[in-house]
Structure 1
Amino acid sequence: MSNKKSSALVITKIDYAQLMQLIEQSDSDAADALDQEISRAKIVETHKLPSNVVAMNSKVTFCDLDSNEEKTIQLVYPQDADVSQMKISVLSPVGSALIGLKIGGAIEWPVPLGKVRRLKVIAVEQAQ
Structure 2
Amino acid sequence: MPPIIMSSLDQARLELLLESNIYRNLPGVDLLSREIERAKVLEPREVPPDLVTMNSTIRFIDDSTDSELELTLVYPKDAGSEKTISVLAPVGSALLGLSVNQSISWEVPGTKKAQLRVLEVTRQPEALGQFHL
Does TM-score exceed 0.5, indicating one fold?
Answer: yes
Determine the C-alpha separation between the residues in 2 that align with 1:99 and 1:106: 11
Identity percentage over the alignment?
Answer: 40
Give the TM-score normalised by the residue count of structure 2. Answer: 0.85
Question: 1:119 matched to which residue of 2?
Answer: 116
Determine the C-alpha separation between the residues in 2 that align with 1:44 and 1:19: 15
Structure 1 vs Structure 2 CA RMSD: 1.4
Structure holding more helix per residue: 1
66 and 17 in structure 1: CA distance in 2 versus 1, 3 angstrom threshold: same
How many correspondences in the alignment?
A: 122
| Letter aligned with residue 44 of structure 1 | L
Determine the C-alpha separation between the residues in 2 that align with 1:93 and 1:114: 12
Identify which of 42, 59, 74 aligns with 2:72: 74
Q: Flag as ranges the 4+ runs of structure 1 deviating above 4 A.
A: none
75 and 17 in structure 1: CA distance in 2 versus 1, 3 angstrom threshold: same
Question: 1:13 matched to which residue of 2?
Answer: 8
Determine the C-alpha separation between the residues in 2 that align with 1:43 and 1:51: 15
Determine the C-alpha separation between the residues in 2 that align with 1:119 and 1:111: 11
Identify which of 87, 91, 95 aligns with 1:98: 95
